[in-house]
Amino acid sequence: MLAAANTAAQSFQGLANSLTQTAQQVDGQVSSTVQQINSITSQIQQYNVQRLQSSQPDPAADAQLYSDLQNLSQLTNFSTVTQSDGTVTVLLAGGTPLVDGAQQDVLSSNVSVDTQPAPVYAQSLPTDHVLDAQGNDITSQITSGQLGGLLDTRNRVLAGILGDSQQQGTLNQLAQGMADTVNQILESGTVSTAPGAANGAALFTYNSSNLATVASTLSLNSAIAPDQLAPVDSAGNSNGNANALAALENPTGTQGTVGGLSYTQYFGQIAGNVGQENQTATANEQAQTQVAAQATTLRDQVSGVSLDKEASAVLQFQQAYQATAQVLTVLDNLGSDLMNLIVPT
């Protein structure tokens, strides 16, 4: 029993650590994507400077502008306005300027625990943020493109499992529910039916001061010995606790459940939710790939007309495609990590 408990605790720790590493990898990808956006908007800013210095359009510069806008559409959602002087203003969908005339507004990113509203779990997994040139949080404005997909996966999908400042996280809830129930059963019983027999000891320990880290800190009680396991229940039944522990696999009451589900069902719900995210991302990727290809073909067939309208359509389609493709990539890894928890021992 001690060996099985240790394996279960290590499985929770391993999964929590693996998902945390995935979150950190996404953090790095968010930072890299923000740098790519700044690089592209710098090129657009240089285009505007050139237009301000020359009243004559430059076909080569115009072609580069459209290429820059198409590349930018793969990274985030935005809108453009062509000014009377020929310069292009680029705005995030929420109105935050990226390029305005000869002015470029540089974005940045950071990883920190949200303080508004006040955190319920102050030492939880931090959240990814994107900031404008003035340091204002504009994360909510980024809803598509590669950056939108990364932020959604990091701040919603992963945070829902590992927790954040406002939620404990489903994996931590499962780990705590299992540990508390097993400990309560054992500690309520005795090691034998003899009069004055000692009470049982807790089988699991975890950091109870930070419930958003239960899974990553869950471990076998290092102080427990085999003779401290309590098979006798509080009513004196010699195998009462042993039967109660065995019944946790298919509970008939509230004991051995999390959110009204058995431990197996609850984990299945976590994995099922990730699977649904994967399925949705796959379907969206396939649909948007076709639409983006069709829009690109139509644009390429246009000759002798302004490409503004055609390019705009392609940008919109590609924004949705890139977001779903990024979600799919991360969730594929996430699903594999989740299934590792239920490998038979």
Beta strands in 64-186 (DSSP E): 78-82, 88-92, 97-100, 103-104, 108-112, 127-131
Q: Tell me what pLDDT residue 299 has.
A: 57
The pLDDT tens digits for 50-92 are: 999 987 888 889 889 988 988 898 888 899 999 999 999 999 9
Q: Tell me what pLDDT residue 285 has.
A: 66
Residues of the chain short of pLDDT 70, as ranges, are 284-285, 288-289, 291-293, 295-345
Q: Tell me what pLDDT residue 304 has.
A: 43
The pLDDT tens digits for 198-254 are: 999 999 999 999 999 999 999 999 999 999 999 999 999 998 998 888 888 888 888
Q: Tell me what pLDDT residue 283 has.
A: 74
pTM of the model: 0.82
CA distances 212 to 14, 99, 221, Å, are 15, 40, 19
Cβ 259 vs Cβ 203: under 8 Å:
no
Task: Name the DSSP letter for residue 304.
Answer: S
